[in-house]
Structure 1
Amino acid sequence: MKFTKTVDCGNSPKRELLKNLSRLFATYDIESAMAFMAEDIQWTLVGERSLKGKEQFAAALQKHSDTKVRELILHNIITHGKEGAVYGEMIMENGEHYAFSDIYTFKSAKGDKVKSIVSFVQLKYS
């Protein structure tokens, strides 16, 4: 998978974590990603559904793991306090092109466990 980031994550541990989580999700490295999720993680896929708990979260990622990402492009990563956001694009092996924005809430300002994610995903073209 090709990875492009147009934003420098610099000296921010939470930005670096969100960059790495985006890569883990895009490569379906579910086991590694789960290490950063709270047990009661809540994932809201806007316009689709909400999932609660690591088991449901991992199952949802696994369900899509046959759709390979050819390129992940991160345009912006913003963090402040217990919150963060990632804006980017994914170009799939099948030619589909998605724009996404993920809004994260951490369990604490330390930012080592993700409490919730709200994902906005839009098909740009295929």
Structure 2
Amino acid sequence: MKLHTKVDCANAPKKELIKNLTVQFVTYDLDTAMAFMDDNVVWTLVGDSPIAGKAQFKAELQKMSGNKATELTIHSIITHGKEAAVHGVMTMMDGNRYGFADFYEFTSAKGTKVKSITTYIIHKKNDSITG
């Protein structure tokens, strides 16, 4: 997978974690990603019902795993306290492109376990929007 990012993660462990989790999610490296999820993690894909619990979250992602990303562009990662956000664009194996934004809440400011993720995603019908 091609990865494009200008995000500087030096001396920013939470930014590095969010970058790595984003790559793991779009390539469906779920076993690695799940190590950073709280057992009671809640994933809200905006427009759908929330998914509660690590096992349910992983199962839902596995349903999507047939269409991995071939290219990922991360535009920015912002962290503060117990929260983080990332946004970018991913191109999938089937050629579809999606703009996304993920908002993370950690169980503590240390940022080792993810308590919740809220995902906004939109299908990009053309390349006129770069963000």
TM-score with structure 1 length normalisation?
0.97
Secondary structure (helix, strand or coil) at the match of 2:14 reads helix
Alignment partner of 1:18 is 2:2: no
Secondary structure (helix, strand or coil) at the match of 1:57 reads helix
Contact 1:6–1:73 under 8 Å retained in 2: no
Secondary structure (helix, strand or coil) at the match of 2:3 reads strand
Structure 1 vs Structure 2: percent identity of aligned residues? Answer: 54
Gaps of 5+ in 1: none
Alignment partner of 1:30 is 2:30: yes
1:10 Cα deviation after fit:
2.2
- Aligned partner of 1:118 in structure 2 is 118
- Aligned partner of 1:88 in structure 2 is 88
Secondary structure (helix, strand or coil) at the match of 1:91 reads strand
1:62-111 per-position Cα deviation (integer Å, ceiling 9, x unaligned)? 00000121101100000000000001110011110000000000000000
Question: What are the within-5 Å matches in structure 2 for residues 63-74 of structure 1?
Answer: 63-74=63-74
1:6 Cα deviation after fit:
2.3
What CA distance in whole angstroms lies between the structure 2 residues aligned with 1:20 and 1:42?
19
TM-score with structure 2 length normalisation?
0.93
Aligned length: 126
1:48 Cα deviation after fit:
1.7
The AA in structure 2 aligned to 1:125 is K
Contact 1:102–1:120 under 8 Å retained in 2: yes
Runs in 1 of length 4+ with deviation above 6 angstroms?
none
1:60 Cα deviation after fit:
0.9
Secondary structure (helix, strand or coil) at the match of 1:49 reads coil
What CA distance in whole angstroms lies between the structure 1 residues aligned with 2:33 and 2:96?
24
What CA distance in whole angstroms lies between the structure 1 residues aligned with 2:109 and 2:15?
13
Contact 1:76–1:88 under 8 Å retained in 2: yes
- Aligned partner of 2:129 in structure 1 is none
Contact 1:91–1:97 under 8 Å retained in 2: yes
What CA distance in whole angstroms lies between the structure 1 residues aligned with 2:68 and 2:111?
28
- Aligned partner of 1:76 in structure 2 is 76
Moved more, 2-11 or 58-67: 2-11
